[in-house]
Amino acid sequence: MIRYHCSHLHILVVYVLGFAFSMSNLAKADEPTRELLWPAGAPGAKGDTPSDKPTLTFYLPPPEEATGTAIVVCPGGGYKYLAIDSTGHDIGEWLRSFGVAGIVLEYRMSGTGYMHPAPLQDAQRAIRTVRSRATELEIAPDRIGIIGFSAGGHLAATAGTHFDSGIANSDDPIERMSSRPDFMALCYPVIAFGEPFTHRGSQWNLIGKEAPSELVRSLSAEKQVKPDTPPTFLFHTDEDRGVPAENSVAFYRALRRAKVPTELHIYQKGGHGVGLAHGVPGTSAWPEALKNWLKVQGFLKE
């Protein structure tokens, strides 16, 4: 089994071979391509099965339609499983339809034996990977966002409040990249931990029932907002009983206090997990609202 602590030379060889292979695959922009997120093995990997190997699936628009923007997609599933179709591949296809490169992340979670920090490590690595390959993907390195749904929204918000500028002298070229997303889109997200409106399942699946208060606070995203938190689009539904809209409201208020550009939509209809909300009165407008917000922020061509 290839482990993360293998030699620097081995990591470099695996990275170069994987990069060459991915370049040939990504040439087929009409077909989504899937590859390992950590070709040399994920940090803290417990085995060598597919569930120990996070992946990225690339949905690339035709060059003549590309906007130069990419978005990493974090599916929901309560950190227990991944709703990979409705909040993963469907979103990648939708992003590609209007010129955005959609990169679907299949991250590790409790259903496959992983808790914090594995999901965050995978999200940070996904952003670094996309940024390191900006030229190949024909995107701008400062136009890389992240979108997440439900617990995937918590993961996206965590990536947007826990980031670094990279390790300049790393032997791994990907690790030299910043893990900061340039913007976030949080869709009926789990945000707060340790609150009356917290989705307890997501919290317990990520950090357990007896997590120390410092960790709970660190992963309560609304308590980690700073002025350099990326601009954020939020949407929720008033009828959501699984993850109440107070989660989005709490994050919106924190962004406002930090003077971070933000936009919040709370639609009346629809329970939890509506995805693209096809056929849900009113709520089906959220995809167009996000597109308009991206235009306002300068991430889409007019």
* pLDDT the model gives residue 29: 52
* pLDDT the model gives residue 4: 35
Please determine, for residue 5, whether its predicted confidence score (pLDDT) is greater than 80: no
Q: How many CB atoms lie within 10 A of CB 129?
A: 22
Q: How far apart are CA 287 and CA 128, in angstroms?
A: 26
Per the CB < 8 A criterion, the answer to whether 184 and 231 are in contact is yes
* pLDDT the model gives residue 23: 44
Q: Which domains does the chain have, with CATH numbers?
A: 8-296 (3.40.50.1820)
* pLDDT the model gives residue 27: 40
Q: Please tell me which residue, 117 or 31, carries the higher pLDDT value.
A: 117
Please determine, for residue 17, whether its predicted confidence score (pLDDT) is greater than 70: no
Structure tokens at 274: 């509506």
* pLDDT the model gives residue 31: 86
Per the CB < 8 A criterion, the answer to whether 286 and 153 are in contact is no
pTM over 0.85: yes
Q: Please tell me which residue, 208 or 24, carries the higher pLDDT value.
A: 208
Of the candidates 180, 192, 181, 117, the one whose C-alpha atom is nearest the C-alpha of residue 154 is 192
The packing angle between helices 118-132 and 151-161, to 10°, is 70
CA distances from 242 to 160, 250, 270, 271 (A): 23, 16, 11, 8
Query: Please, which residues bridge with residue 14 across strands?
Result: none
Per the CB < 8 A criterion, the answer to whether 271 and 237 are in contact is yes
